[in-house]
Amino acid sequence: MTLVDNVVYVEGRRASTPEDLDETYAVMRGHGGMAWIGLYRPEPPEVHSVAAEFRLHDLAVEDALKGHQRAKLERFGQTLFIVLRPARYLDEVEKVEFGELHVLVGPDFVVTVRHAESPDLAAVRQRLEASPGLLGAGPQAVLYGILDEVVDRYVPVLTGLEDDIDEIEDQIFAADRDVSRRIYELSREVIAFQRAVHPLVDMLEALQQGAEKYGLDVELQTRLRDVQDHAIRAADRADSFRALLQNALTVHATLLGQRQNDEMQRLTESALAQSEEVKRISSWAAILFAPTLVGTVYGMNFQHMPELAWPLGYPFALLLMLGMGLSLYTVFKWKKWL
């Protein structure tokens, strides 16, 4: 159901709860008061009906129907069009979910168009209805209540993000392989949060600057300043989170490079050790090969070999084997292969 709540207030108290929009218009014409119409993902006919009754600007109607708008505040004559990006932290998946809320505020009406589950505007209604004096200030009081709810809901989000950053720090020093992806995903959430909260600070400033021109109640001005203070603190924390994540990414890259260098050094040392071992084996193989070569030559047993009849042939062959071995041993020792 797209029409989630539809109430006409007179002097801050619920005077009528019409069943449909046409009845709302009739009650307002007959008794005056302020209408607060809550729509959830409305169909075009509903939005066009509200637009025709309250003479909303075409651009505001187009944005309300399309959705996917950035946080902003625009004024069309006596009507304010505000886009808010509420957020909530989902503990089950450790993710931040962003919603979209459009608020149209006129002299005697407030129209809220939600494109997501959050925020819970029913809770805002209950709080305002419990304070008829505040709600009696008119549509600006409803706008204050909505802004206050959106900013208050940012606090659990910031707490969740802070916990995630603490976990990332542990993952970095534990050499978790998935930490790079988590830092990237968390950075995207922080950037999205910044895009939601930073414009809100400027919007609240603009509302206060136009307070006298548009007759904003003094009490509401005070309350809006309090909401702005909370928004500024939320924006500052978000900025600090982004800086922390950038530092975490730098530290992670440094540690990763250090670990890679250590691994390369270990591999290099291992390769050097293997090389030294190969040198030793090759040296002894060459030393052993020399007498083998001599023995092979003199062991061919051809008939016509002068050395076979030479009395000193055998000792000469032994001395030659020994000399060649010692020579090779001396050379390899000098080259530090042995």
Q: List strand residue ranges (DSSP E) for 63-218, in order.
A: 72-76, 79-84, 87-90, 95-98, 101-105, 109-114
Local confidence band at 173 (pLDDT 50, 70, 90 cut-offs): confident
Mean per-residue pLDDT of the chain: 86
Q: Domain 1-132 belongs to what architecture?
A: 2-Layer Sandwich (3.30)
Report long-range pairs for 45-53 (Cβ below 8 Å, ≥24 apart): 46/2, 46/3, 46/21, 47/113, 49/21, 50/21, 50/104, 50/111, 53/21, 53/25
Question: In this predicted structure, what is the pLDDT of residue 308?
Answer: 66
In this model, does residue 315 exceed pLDDT 80? no
H/E segment holding residue 281: helix 218-298
User: Mean pLDDT, to the nearest integer, of 2-14?
Assistant: 89
Prediction pTM value: 0.76
In this model, does residue 300 exceed pLDDT 70? no
Q: Decide: helix, strand or coil at residue 3.
A: strand
Question: In this predicted structure, what is the pLDDT of residue 115?
Answer: 86
What length does the chain have? 338
Starting at the edge strand that comes first in sequence, how are the strands of the sheet with 72-76 ordered?
Answer: 13-16, 3-10, 34-40, 109-114, 101-105, 79-84, 72-76
Residues 122, 134 contacting (CB under 8 angstroms): no
Q: pLDDT tens digits, residue range 181-238?
A: 888 899 999 999 999 999 999 999 988 888 777 778 888 889 999 999 999 999 999 9
Give the phi and the psi of residue 11 in degrees, each rounded to 5.
55, 40
Q: pLDDT tens digits, residue range 144-172?
A: 999 999 999 999 999 999 999 988 888 88
Tokens of 41: 């993902």
CA 332 to CA 72: how far, in whole Å?
A: 81
Give the phi and the psi of residue 183 in degrees, each rounded to 5.
-60, -45
Dump the DSSP string for 30-48: HH--EEEEEEES--HHHHH
User: Mean pLDDT, to the nearest integer, of 243-268?
Assistant: 81
Least confident of 5-9, 29-33, 260-264: 260-264
Tokens of 286: 């060459």
- The structural domains of the chain, with segments of one domain joined by +, span 1-132, 275-334
Question: In this predicted structure, what is the pLDDT of residue 274?
Answer: 77
Question: In this predicted structure, what is the pLDDT of residue 119?
Answer: 82
